[in-house]
Amino acid sequence: MAEIKKRLVRLGGLTLARLIRHVANSSQVIHEPPDLMDRLSDAHPCIVACWHGQFMMIATLRPEDVRISAMVARHGDAEIISETLQAIDVQLIRGAGAGWRKKDRGGAAALRASLQALSEGSSLVMTADVPPGPARVAGAGIITIARMSGRPIVPVALATKRFASFDTWSRLTINLPYSKLAAVVGEPIHVPSTADDELLESKRVELETALNTATLRAYELAGADIKRATPLDVLAAASAPSPGLVLKTYRAGTAALRPAVPLLLNMRGQQGKEDPNRRGERLGFAGRPRPAGQVVWVHAASVGETNAILPLIDSLLDANPHIHILLTTGTKTSAEIAAHRLPPRALHQYVPLDVPHYVARFLDHWKPSISIFTESDIWPNLILGTAERGIPLVLVNARMSPRSISRWRKYAAVGRPLFSRFAAVLSQNSQITRAMKRLGAPNVITAGNLKIDSPPPPVNADLLAALKNAVGQRPLFLAASTHPGEDTVIAAAHSLMRREIEGLLTIIVPRHPERGGGLAASLGGLGLRTQLRSRSSTPETDTEIYVADTIGELGTFYSMSPVSLVGGSLVEHGGQNPIEAVRLGSCVLTGPFTHNFRDAYAALFREGGAVEVRSSDDIARQVTLLLADQAAAKRMRQGADVALQSMGGALAKTLGAIQPLLEKQRA
């Protein structure tokens, strides 16, 4: 099988090499400048730079008696390219820069080989942008080679009137024969060996600009449509594309299903998920009159997003005394938090269901000046309907799990018309920034996580005093924001710990309080003396598990608990916010699934401010250690504080991006 694959790859390479020769021989060739070949010869040995996906015909720009080497990645997809280049007498340098990825792609070896090739009189051909993107953004590697070798970079672009292109990250282009072939060469770019970081960045931007200029000119000379060869995310960032078939079908489908919405709301109401007194808000009817002046619409899906956005709401109101804030959420628990914590000049409504008619009714009443969406709650009709009215959209604290990034890549044709309509996207980390750019967002800023800058959840002093009085000196362990599948692990850990820790009280705060009754019943069935907070205000002296099935009290429980397991992490949910526990002085344990807060946990682990546990045995061991060893617990809290200090700043960056849009709308 391996031999057959090798032969097929070689055959593919030879076929592509024949196509390259055929395109060159059968096409009308235009050079700009006319002495292009002489200029390449004069610059030899040089670094010939092109964009990824636009490299097919580069090797045909070869002055007589000039040796050429090309840098080719080591991955399997590059094998055909390697065979092709060898067939047209181009020497190979295997390896490529890692870009943002940590995986070794042979970059160091390729750098050494490139410098040696240039020193031995061979010109080097390489793409300026690094897989897997962003496309048409020059990387630092090519600038480094120019600095270390002392050889100039020559930007080159080729285009044919007839070509085929594919929706890859770089918009791979296959040039076709019997065409007009245009080749454009820019001025050589020299990078001094003494260049500092500022000058290196300047040269990188200069190369990027020169390559874009040369590419545009080559397509103009060839009489070809450059949009067909431009990466779709780049096109989307420049001009938001119209919704495609999938989005049109979704919009039509949600409109057609409108008669079924009352049935859906009835079902959700029976499950306790809808507020019957405010049902009209889900249909787009306003529950409050619109305040005069500018209204800034902020949307947050549920409790976590609401807590994250509250400091931004405070900051926006402080900086803009003339505005009002409309906060929409989709859950009863988040509505209760809003009722208690929203400041003056801010009001809450339930977000309308994503039905075009309801969205239009909502927007007709509130007429927001700007709309701010939070994290990953992307609703097509809300976004498209808002954008159609010329209302600027901002996505803050943007979050995507690795699985979501893969899914959005697969369905980029759906994502691009949505994300390209955001005037600004503030992402939690650089990986999400790259994903957003791949989806056509035109202005993406890596701001960090707003939840890092959020104040801790409120602590009820009266409740805290009552709980401490009831608990007394009993050792205490908290399992916070737990999800189904985690509670049995925690119960098993409690059973292990109570053998060594006399009088241990474990408090479980389920992420969704409605699970409290069933949870208490199942734990009681395991022989554990269990109480519900909704039925008993404080735990009794013989209570082993206290289930806090209430809303808005997590801060109080964190503040009294020396050790807390932050839930959503023992199952593949992705973890809940560990910063709340850190700010209230509790040592943090977490399961292995933390991708929702990857950056926060990376900093905590780096500073020894959190410990990963994978089983009930792990939990029992770590809790027993931290309750017994106060010095170890203190070191852990100190490490968490150091990590916290290193992660701040998202709120200021987010406010800085939103404020100009607000001022523009006011004008």
Residues catalogued as catalytic: 305
Q: Which of 539, 543, 517 is nearest to 529 (CA)?
A: 543
Integer-rounded Cα radius of gyration of the chain: 30
What is d(CA 289, CA 283) in angstroms, rounded to the nearest whole number?
Answer: 16
Checking phi first, is residue 512 left (phi over 0); if not, alpha (psi -120 to 50) or beta? Answer: beta
By three-state DSSP, how is residue 547 classified?
strand
| Burial class of residue 659 in the structure, from the number of CB atoms within 10 Å of its CB (0-12 exposed, 13-18 middle, 19+ buried) | middle
User: Which amino acid is present at 486?
Assistant: E
Cα–Cα distances in Å, from 78 out to 15, 107, 274, 318, 581?
15, 15, 54, 55, 48
What is d(CA 345, CA 342) in angstroms, rounded to the nearest whole number?
Answer: 9
Contact 232, 416 (CB under 8 A): yes
Strands 91-94 and 67-72 turn out to be: parallel
What is d(CA 504, CA 496) in angstroms, rounded to the nearest whole number?
Answer: 11
Place of tokens 């090499």: 17
Dihedral, 280, 414, 243, 353 alpha carbons, nearest 10:
0
Here the tokens at position 221 are 């000379």
User: Which amino acid is present at 71?
Assistant: M
What is d(CA 359, CA 332) in angstroms, rounded to the nearest whole number?
Answer: 20
6-12: which pairs have CB atoms within 8 A and are 24 or more residues apart? 9/79, 9/80, 9/83, 10/83, 12/80, 12/83
| φ and ψ of 153, to 5 deg | -95, 130
Contact 163, 218 (CB under 8 A): no
For residue 175, the surrounding DSSP H or E stretch is: strand 173-175
Contact 47, 124 (CB under 8 A): yes
Contact 286, 349 (CB under 8 A): yes
What is d(CA 502, CA 499) in angstroms, rounded to the nearest whole number?
Answer: 7
Any residues with CB less than 8 A from the CB of 504 and at least 6 apart, and which? 474, 475, 476, 477, 494, 497, 498, 544
